[in-house]
Homo-oligomer: A and B are copies of this chain.
Amino acid sequence: MKYSVIAIGDELLIGQVTDTNSPWIARHMTPLGWEPAGVQVIADDEQQIDRAIDQAWQQCDVVLMTGGLGPTKDDITKGVLCRYFGGELVHNPEVERNVERVMTQRHLTVNQTTRTQAMVPSSCRIIQNQVGTAPIMWFERDGKVLVSMPGVPHETKTMMKVAVIPQLTQRFNDGNHIEFHTLVVAGIIESDIAERLDAFERQLPPHMHLAYLPQGGTVKLRLTGIHRDGDLLKQQMERNVALIHQELGNAIIGDGDKPLAAIVGDRLRTLGLTLATAESCTGGNIAHQVTSIAGSSDYFLGSVVSYANQVKTSLLGVNEADIAANGVVSEPVVRQMVQGVCKRIGTTCGIATSGIAGPGGGTPDKPVGTVWMAACRGGRVVAQVLQLPGDRMRVIERATTEALLLLLKLLD
C-alpha cells in the first residue's frame, strides 16, 4: 500500500521551520509495510493545496496531511478540505469540549480564535486530538483515505501513534511483509564500502535493496526487503546481514539503527564502566548526546564544560605551565583534561576535547577546525588531533562523533 505526505505551512516553505514530521511518519509507517510515494511541502495556499491533493490522490491509497490547522489567519487548510470533499463547516460540540479540556490542562482560557477549532467539515469523521486543540479529520473517497492532522510535531506524532496508524492498519492490509536491518560502519568511507560490497550487492535478490547513509563520521548501511512470504524474507535478511558482517568485519560498530551515543552506552553498560566528559570546544554537546539516550544514568556520571581556561586549571587540574607552553588546544592539555575529569567525577572512562570551532580564534598553526581530543579507560589514555571542515556547528558535531569513536576503540 502506498501513502504520501503533504506538509503544509509557509514556515516550512521559507525554511524557518524544518519538516521533521515527514521523516518521523516514514520511520513509523515503512516498518508496517507502507511504501512512501513522496513528500510534498507546500504553502498555506488554496491552489497549492488543491494541486497537491490531486497529485497525491492519483498515486496513493492514503494521503497524510500535516499542518495548516492552527487557529490563526495564515492557516486555511480546513476550508480547502471542506470545499474539496463537499459538505459545509459545522459546529462540533465534542471538539469544543476537547478544546476546553486541553486549554484547562494548560491553565489557559478559551478565546474566540481557539473556539473556531470546533468548526469542522461535515464530510469528515473526527478523531479527537488528545494533546492539542486542532481536531484530526479523516476523509474517504473511492476507497482511498486522506487524514488531516495538526503540524505541531508533538501533536502529529502522538496522534499518529495512538489513532491514525492503528486505524490505517485496520483499514488496509495488502499482505506484503517488510524487513529492515541497519548496520553502522566507521573508519571506511562510502565509496570504499561500495567497492568491498560490490559482489555482495550483485547477488542480492531483486526484492532486496542496500542503501548507504553517510552521517558525518559514520555510514549507516540499510538493507530492505519487501515480499509476500514473510518467513522466506526473514531468512534472506539474516543470510545477507551475515554476508555484510563477513565482508566488513570490525568496521561494523553497531548492529541495528542506533545513534553512536547509544552504541557507546551499550558497551559501557556491558563492561560495567562509567563515563565523564571534559569539554571545551564541544561545549557540552558530548554530554548532551550521551544523556539523550534513555537509561544513560546507568553509566554517565557527569561532565565539566571548561570553556574558560581558569575552569580547566581549577576544576580539572590542568597545569598552567602546559597551557602557556603548548596552548590550550594541545595534546598535553586534553590528556590532563580527561584524566582530571575522571578523577574529579570518579569514573573509569572519560572523553576530553579542546579545539577551535570558529568562526574566530584560528591561527596559521592551528586554523579553525583544529580539534585535540582524548579518551581514557582506566589508566590508558589515547589522544588524536583532527582538522575538521565546515562551519561552527559542523565542527562541534563532527568533533563529538570523533571523540565518541575514539572512546569506542578502547571498549572492545
Contact = CB atoms under 8 A, between A and B. Distances in A.
Interface in A177-202: 182, 189-192, 194-195, 201
A297 B308 contact: yes
Interface stretch (A25-33, A229-237, A377-385): A25-33
Interface string A71-93: 11110000000000000000000
A52 B40 CA distance: 10
A48 B36 CA distance: 12
A154 B389 contact: yes
Contacts of A19: 18-19, 23
Q: How many copies does the complex hold?
A: 2
Given A41-B39, A287-B284, A72 B301 contact: no
A282 B195 CA distance: 42
A302 interface: yes
A217 interface: no
Nearest to A38: B42
A242 to B, nearest CB: 20
A12 interface: yes
B13 A38 contact: yes
B108 A211 contact: no
A191 B303 CA distance: 40
Interface of A: 10-20, 22-28, 30, 36-43, 48, 52, 55, 70-74, 106, 108, 111-114, 131, 152, 154, 182, 189-192, 194-195, 201, 209-215, 220, 222, 224, 257, 277, 279, 282-288, 290-292, 294-297, 300-308, 310-311, 315, 344-346, 358-360, 389-390, 392-394, 396
Given A15-B28, A18-B18, A284-B286, 15 more contacts: A10-B209, A12-B23, A15-B30, A18-B20, A36-B43, A38-B43, A70-B191, A73-B194, A108-B192, A111-B195, A112-B195, A292-B393, A292-B396, A296-B307, A304-B304
